[in-house]
Amino acid sequence: MAKQIVFYTDNLLKPEIAERVQRNLKKISKNKGIPIVCVSLKKMDFGDKNIHFPRYKRGIFTLFRQQLAGVENATSDILFFCEHDVFYHPSHFDFVPPTDDAYYYNVNVWKVRLSDGHGLRINDCKQTSGLCAYRHLLLKHYRKRIAIIEKRRREMVKAGVPIKNDGYSKYIGYEPGRHTLPRGTDGFLTIDNYLPKSWESEFPNIDIRHDTNFTRSRWKKDEFYDHRNTEGWTEQDNIPGWGHLWHFWKKL
């Protein structure tokens, strides 16, 4: 089955991180024969195809539209979502989803602070940067996700109220398959009922935590509302397959 990388960025990342991430993905793309569709807010000379939206501003609605554009412009059966501040290990791209009716998340990921190279891992970290699924499933999902948000935005404008959170509702979930329970309702906010499933690559990915991450960094257990999200809490500075941040930083 053909594979493809959907890479997206807001072009606001520090060059010292962005350039290393792109060099790493470019090398993986060449070695494994996996093309890259790049979706950005500025024109970029990266990937096999670049779709850019210079009029869009960074935000959650923009992010979803970028993801949809990447899926629409991809042509392969299996897609890997890749973010601009994650160092992906080559083993991440060896995965093949066993079914085409679920969203698969690589939970072998360490969050590493750029400031000092300190790393943190939990057991089940399902995040979009580790998502892999079949294109047809992602295409339907993101088209409906965008339709839901656009409808909510129109309703807010009609009601004369400010558009909050870009029209996004937490009930549709941030990552595919992770919307609020119960599943199977007929409500318009239910995108689909395909489940999110976990998998682990041989070696982990490195999620760099810096001062402009889209999501908030949390380094203490008491910062989590749901303590199930802290199971397997492990902290260390030498990451399996990578070593310390400053060691592999020089190689990328």
66-80 pLDDT per residue, tens = 999 999 999 999 999
Instruction: Evaluate if residue 187 carries a pLDDT over 60.
Output: no
Whether residue 174 lies inside any domain: the answer is: no
Residue 185: both structure tokens together:
């309702």
Whether the upstream peptide bond of residue 240 has omega within 30° of 0, thus cis, is: no
- pLDDT band (50, 70, 90) for residue 192: confident
Query: What does the pLDDT look like over 26-66, one tens digit per residue?
Result: 999 999 999 999 999 999 999 999 999 999 999 999 999 99
Q: How confident is the model at residue 188 (pLDDT cuts 50, 70, 90)?
A: low
Amino acid at 16: E
**Which residues, 6 or more positions from 37, have their beta carbon under 8 angstroms from its beta carbon?**
4, 5, 6, 7, 47, 48, 49, 51, 70, 73, 74
Task: Give percent of the chain above pLDDT 90.
Answer: 69
* 116 assigned to some structural domain: yes
Tally the residues of the chain: 252
Split into its structural domains, the chain has a count of 1
Q: How confident is the model at residue 252 (pLDDT cuts 50, 70, 90)?
A: confident
Could you tell me if residue 15 is inside a domain? yes
pLDDT exceeds 80 at position 15:
yes
Q: Does residue 170 form part of some domain? A: no
- Binning pLDDT at 50, 70 and 90, where does residue 22 land? very high
Lowest-pLDDT choice from 20-24, 85-89, 123-127, 198-202 = 123-127
pLDDT value at position 133? 98
For the cut 60, the answer to whether the pLDDT of residue 185 exceeds it is no
- What's this model's pTM, rounded to 2 decimal places? 0.92
pLDDT value, residue 196: 94
Q: Which domain holds residue 82?
A: 3-146+192-249
In a domain, 184, yes or no: no
Within-domain flag for 162: no
Rounded to the nearest integer, the mean pLDDT of the chain is: 90
Q: Which residue has the higher pLDDT, 115 or 37?
A: 37
Domain assignment of residue 136, yes or no: yes
CATH number at residue 95: 3.90.550
Query: Is residue 237 situated within a structural domain?
Result: yes
Token pair for 99 = 């079914």
